[in-house]
Structure 1
Amino acid sequence: MEQPPIIFLGPSLPLSTAKDICDAIYLPPAAQGSVISAVQRYEPRALLIIDGTFQSAPAVRHKEILWAMARGVRVLGAASMGALRAAELHGHGMIGIGLIYRWYRRHAFAPDDAVAVLHMPEELGSAAMTLALVDLVQTVKRAERLGVIDNVQRRHLETAARRLNYRERTLVNVMREAGTAADYAMLERHIVEQKRDDAVQALRFLDKVNAMPPPTPRPFTWTTAFVRDLRHANIALPADA
């Protein structure tokens, strides 16, 4: 029996919403070693990274994604850490989905923390407590297009959002930092949830992936640094290491 896809999900989309869209094995945000552990345990045909850790734990390694693809697993990324890794590894076969992925592809030096948010622990649903920079930028651009704010206010709000640490990026804090007299209620009404939209798009795309033939396994070269990383994370080394 074919295994369902693996999906690493956190604050980008509520788990209950994701389950209504796609039947899969859902795991917490990917960290160092998560991809190897998941592939060893479940042997999936496809794996989707939406969310991943940024500073609370070492981030998911590029090398372990390459290892999974070398074993014939189709690896996709979208919305958050997944979009970032997909943009970095698209030339090696990782599939990226959504606007945020395309933005990272187009802007090679875009900041990693543009998709980072402070969120509740997994036990409490991983709900986001701050807004991602990508969502804030899209929000103020939309507000300007709709005439809610003018061009000067939009530029001040965007600059303020970029200046704040991702742990502090709330609409209230951005407006306070920008010193703008914009209407909070009107801005809140036009919040853009680009990370959520991209996550939903990726989940729906998985149906197409299931119909694709598996990718051709590629050669994989183990490195001393990668083995050291896995041992440091207490991850059992695969048989081919």
Structure 2
Amino acid sequence: MADARDDGPILVFLGPTLRVEDARAVLDAIYLQPAAQGDILLAAHAFRPRAMVLIDGQFEDRPAVRHKEILWAMAQGIIMVGGASMGALRAAELGDFGMIGVGLIYRWYRRWALSSRIEVRGSLSALVPDDAVAVHSGPAELGFLQLTDALVDLQRTFSTLMRRRVISAAERAQLTTMARNMNFRDRTLAAVLGAAGWTDGRIQEVRQTAVYQKREDALLALHTAPRLAREAQMAGDQNSWTATNTFIRDLEAGGIDSKLVNTYKLNP
């Protein structure tokens, strides 16, 4: 039987957003592949961590990590931190339940969580759609090498170009719309600028000033994770948790023993 320990390790679910080598230079942690359904549950039993940092998640070949699974981890006393990519999205959705969000992308999702998904389907919803952090990446054997650019990174790049007077406000709006209309599997800075009629030479010049907000937010999450974990442990807040039939069925469908949900030792 496992339990969350004050001296347990920090686990980081990381993929295309940041190279593991760069991440290790910032935080001494156990680095795992992007999280999918069941991975948080299995990692908790395997490592008995004091905290988990969710950066990248899977969502195509495997079901995405469930909200209920994150709530389960927090009920065991595991501090959950999210940022940059799937982590920013889940932290914005679960902030009211105790998940800690870090970074600009998290704040975007948090700020427009209701207005973009419930009240309007207009300009605000276009700002931070769920696929705004999605990228196409290589296989695990290649370290989940990022093959396309995230919409949030492109938006930040276009805004920076406008502030530097490289492009006008109208051009920024045009490029942003073009990027939003592309499938995330095809979305790259070169593809957007090429479709807008830019020359290869000009595209190469702009590439040098591209903004990688996901990477910046990931580094921030790693820098602040130990402090956030300590502060959260001192606060001692812990949520109750109840399994649902749907959640149990999802685990079993993924070949995960649902008994793991009840054999984890809850903190007193």
- Stretches of structure 1 lacking an aligned partner (at least 5 in a row): none
- Matching residue of 2:98: 93
Distance, in Å, in 1 between the alignment partners of 2:167 and 2:23 is 33
Displacement of 1:175 in angstroms is: 1.5
2:51 is the counterpart of 1:29: no
Kindly tell me: are residues 213 and 153 of structure 1, through their superposed partners in 2, closer, same or farther at Cα, counting changes over 3 Å?
closer
Distance, in Å, in 2 between the alignment partners of 1:204 and 1:162 is 31
Work out whether residues 39 and 65 of structure 2, in 8 Å CA contact, stay in contact via their aligned partners in 1. yes
- Matching residue of 1:235: 256
Displacement of 1:206 in angstroms is: 1.4
Q: Deviations over 1:15-74 (max 9, x none)?
A: 000011101111000000111111111111100100001222110000000000011110
Work out whether residues 156 and 180 of structure 1, in 8 Å CA contact, stay in contact via their aligned partners in 2. no
Q: Deviations over 1:146-198 (max 9, x none)?
A: 01112222111111100000000111211233345692123212100000000
1:188 to 200, 207, 215: 207
Work out whether residues 133 and 151 of structure 2, in 8 Å CA contact, stay in contact via their aligned partners in 1. yes
SS in 1 for 2:185: helix
Kindly tell me: are residues 212 and 28 of structure 1, through their superposed partners in 2, closer, same or farther at Cα, counting changes over 3 Å?
same
How many correspondences in the alignment?
241
Distance, in Å, in 2 between the alignment partners of 1:217 and 1:32 is 22
SS in 1 for 2:242: coil
2:184 to 143, 155, 166: 166
Q: Deviations over 1:190-233 (max 9, x none)?
A: 10000000000000001213433524332211110000000011
Work out whether residues 68 and 247 of structure 2, in 8 Å CA contact, stay in contact via their aligned partners in 1. yes
Q: Normalising by the residue count of structure 1, what TM-score does the alignment of the two structures yield?
A: 0.95
- Stretches of structure 2 lacking an aligned partner (at least 5 in a row): 117-127, 264-268
Distance, in Å, in 1 between the alignment partners of 2:18 and 2:73 is 24
- Matching residue of 1:219: 240
Distance, in Å, in 2 between the alignment partners of 1:7 and 1:23 is 10
Q: Which amino acid aligns with 1:129?
A: L
Q: How does 1:46-65 map to 2 (within 5 A)?
A: 46-65=51-70
SS in 2 for 1:35: helix
- Matching residue of 1:148: 166
2:156 to 124, 132, 138: 138
- Name which of structure 1's ranges 195-204 and 107-116 shifts more when overlaid on structure 2: 107-116
Identity of counterpart residues, as a percentage? 47
Q: Which amino acid aligns with 1:31?
A: A
Distance, in Å, in 2 between the alignment partners of 1:123 and 1:20 is 21
Q: Normalising by the residue count of structure 2, what TM-score does the alignment of the two structures yield?
A: 0.86
- Matching residue of 1:209: 228
- Matching residue of 2:89: 84
> Where does structure 1 differ by over 4 angstroms across 4 or more consecutive aligned residues?
none
Distance, in Å, in 2 between the alignment partners of 1:180 and 1:67 is 49
Distance, in Å, in 2 between the alignment partners of 1:227 and 1:174 is 43
Distance, in Å, in 2 between the alignment partners of 1:209 and 1:90 is 14
Distance, in Å, in 1 between the alignment partners of 2:199 and 2:169 is 13
Q: Which amino acid aligns with 1:145?
A: R
